[in-house]
Amino acid sequence: MMAEEKNQAYPKQRIMDAAVRLFAKKGFSATGVRELASEADLNIAMINYYYGSKQKILEDIIDRFFRGHMAMIGDGLKTPGGIEDKIRAADRAVLKYFRENEELAIVALTEFPYDVPEIAGYKARYISELLRIGREHLIPLLAGRLNVPPRMEILGPIMISAVISHFIFKPVIEKATDIELTDQFYKELGEIISSFTLYGLIGKP
């Protein structure tokens, strides 16, 4: 059943899906191309044909994640209303996106493989763009109310981490507490992240 489903997808998509699963589970460095081929149910020649190298697959994962991530943030900030509505909409959209693409988000955000140092530079183009969006579209909305210096290179990572934190800590939080990861939990998580971010930014009036 699983194999059938996999085989119906296009080969490039199957390689991408297999890579996201394996990089999230084992890390980029510990995943071999042979293993990737086996997980994707393809031969190694096909992986070479579509990607050429493991590094190119990771770059494709990063492209895909950040394009989606930026689209969610952009839509959120375009929401009509005040800053509170915009931040709540953006956090809701980003959280939904992370929940639906959990392994993609973890790999794209936290994987800095030692054997491919250029990956930090590859991600930097997206982070630069996110910082620019923050400086141009978020900071001006907060003008006069911002409780902290408008340093996006500090605030950006804090805001992204507020959303990813749940997914990074999930395996251990599930063991340490009796929470159930229901839709209701994620609704409350989204509200808490938004409140925390919003009041973290604008503080006391």
Q: Tell the smallest beta-carbon distance from residue 151 to its own copies (Å).
A: 7
Residue closer to its own copies (CB basis): 27 or 52 = 27
Residue closer to its own copies (CB basis): 3 or 172 = 172
Residue closer to its own copies (CB basis): 11 or 150 = 150
Rounded distance, CA 196 to CA 193, Å?
5
Rounded distance, CA 201 to CA 174, Å?
29
Q: Tell the smallest beta-carbon distance from residue 153 to its own copies (Å).
A: 5
Other beta carbons within 10 angstroms of residue 56's beta carbon come to 12
Q: Tell the smallest beta-carbon distance from residue 45 to its own copies (Å).
A: 25
Cβ contacts of 175-183, under 8 Å, gap ≥ 24: none
Q: Tell the smallest beta-carbon distance from residue 10 to its own copies (Å).
A: 27
Give residues with Cβ within 8 angstroms of 117, minimum separation 6. Answer: none
Residue closer to its own copies (CB basis): 13 or 147 = 147
Element of type H or E holding 48: helix 44-50
Instruction: Please give the residue ranges that form the binding site for its own copies (CB under 8 A).
Output: 25-30, 109-110, 112-115, 120-121, 123-125, 127-128, 131, 147-149, 151, 153-158, 160-162, 164-166, 168-169, 171-177, 179, 188-189, 191-193, 195-197, 199-205
Residue closer to its own copies (CB basis): 78 or 151 = 151
From residue 4, give the alpha-carbon distance in Å to each of 8, 33, 36, 40, 45: 6, 22, 17, 12, 21
Q: Tell the smallest beta-carbon distance from residue 5 to its own copies (Å).
A: 22
